[in-house]
Amino acid sequence: MKHAVLALLFSGLSTFSAIATFSTHAASAQVNVYSARQEELIKPVLDKFSAQTGIQVNLITGKPDELISRMASEGRNSPADVLISTDVGRLYRAQTQGLLQPIASQALNAAIPAHLRDPAQHWFGLTMRARPVLYIPGKVDPKQLSTLEDLASDQWRGRICIRSSDNIYNQSMLAAMIASIGEEKTLAFAKGLVANFAQPPKGGDRDQIKAAAAGVCDIAIANTYYLAGMFDEPADAKAAKQVKVFWPNQNDRGAHINISGAGVAKHAPNKAAAQQLIEYMVQPEAQNWYATANHEYPVLAGVKWSPVLESFGTFKADPLPLVKLGELNSKALLLMDQAGWK
């Protein structure tokens, strides 16, 4: 099948993979995906979908907020069919801006636990990611660790590395705490955590892990898929091997989790194909690829984890409905600001 190649320039967005034009009048079946996931982390599974269905997938990758802003500015003329994002907070943001539409899908409801999808069916979790405590053996006795809240205690003064407050993963972590323990206790935690920073927040999750390995701090907070991915890269593997995973809050609510997820665009020109693609991404084949290639926890029960994830151990996950992370994002940001979390 021959398709014309269309080059589009997007300010602030990365180069996209497109083998067909973004046209609502194309002769062949297609689906247009705006993805906050990097191309190498999403394209292989999209190619498998195309091979099985004959539906051409046109992929644009970019930063999530830029993709959401683009969809908003495009309005009814947006070619986007599917938005894929890396945190429920941004999917909720897109939903509240009227950029997603609800879809009724028995397949998605059957495959995805209720707390990992929007109750109104605007977005659906595709993979689950966890944000535990990473520590340096020899400097930290795991018996000293218990809950996230305890990281605000004086024993960790100057010993913790974590990203800045403008990071959506940390915002969602605080939002989950607000939902579980309330604003007052969450603010106290945030103030104590800030007092325990080993350095001003900078860099991404991998940078926190590398800082711990380099002796800057004894504890880092980071998503497991970042740590797992470091084992696959020779330049990062040495640092990754120096930290261990501790699962906090196992005696109460469970460890904080989030999702990567997707929703169908409000004005999707290819709605049926968009729904078909999202349904494919929670089938065993796609879920297995995510688990093994990207080291993310599958949302579909029964899919085996990657060996690296298995080495981190099993854990109790917080069953909080993830819609709460979006609803409480603004409160989380306010508390982080009050705590002096830069």
Helix then strand count (H, E) for the chain reads 14, 11
Of residues 167, 166, 175, the one with CA closest to residue 332: 175
Q: Which residues lie closer than 8 Å to 106 by C-beta, 6 or more apart?
A: none
Please indicate if the annotation marks 225 as binding a ligand. yes
Angle of the 224-231 helix axis to the 205-213 helix axis, nearest 10 = 60
Would you state the structure tokens that stand for residue 6, as one six-digit string? Answer: 């269309």
Cβ contact 123:100 at 8 Å: yes
Report helix, strand or coil for 302.
coil
Q: Which residues lie closer than 8 Å to 232 by C-beta, 6 or more apart?
A: none
CA dist., res. 56 & res. 54, Å (int): 6
CA dist., res. 305 & res. 35, Å (int): 24
Distances in Å between the Cα of 191 and the Cα atoms of 159, 197, 233, 295 are: 15, 10, 35, 32
Of residues 35, 30, 100, 60, the one with CA closest to residue 274: 30
Residues making up the binding site: 225-226
Residues making up the binding site for Fe cation: 225-226
